[in-house]
């Protein structure tokens, strides 16, 4: 990852897992800036049709069905 202050490469200082989210604290050895990054898991929803084929839900379809 590139430092937003000086545009040099950053390094991982430490990694923590909070619930299902992974938080990595990165630092820039050039300017000393610290950046937290978060990795959030992505879930895919599937529905089983009557003919035993699985179809993946599309996010746009889910938001349209709410309206």
Per-residue model confidence (pLDDT) at position 41 = 79
How is 28-56 classified by DSSP, letter by letter? Answer: -TTT--EEEEEE------EEE-TTS-EEE
Mean pLDDT of 4-17: 93
- pLDDT tens-digit profile of 15-30? 999 888 899 999 999 9
- Decide if 52 contacts 62 (C-beta within 8 A): no
Using the predicted structure, report yes or no on whether residue 56 has a pLDDT greater than 90: no
Chain centroid to Cα 6, Å, comes to: 24
- Decide if 23 contacts 35 (C-beta within 8 A): no
Global pTM reads 0.55
């Amino acid at each position: 990852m590139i430092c937003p202050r000086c545009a040099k490469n950053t390094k991982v200082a430490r990694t923590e897992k909070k619930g299902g989210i992974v938080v990595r604290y990165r630092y820039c050895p050039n300017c000393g800036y610290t950046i937290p990054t978060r990795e959030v898991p992505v879930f895919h929803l599937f529905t089983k049709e009557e003919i035993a084929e699985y179809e993946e839900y599309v996010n746009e379809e889910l938001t349209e069905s709410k309206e």
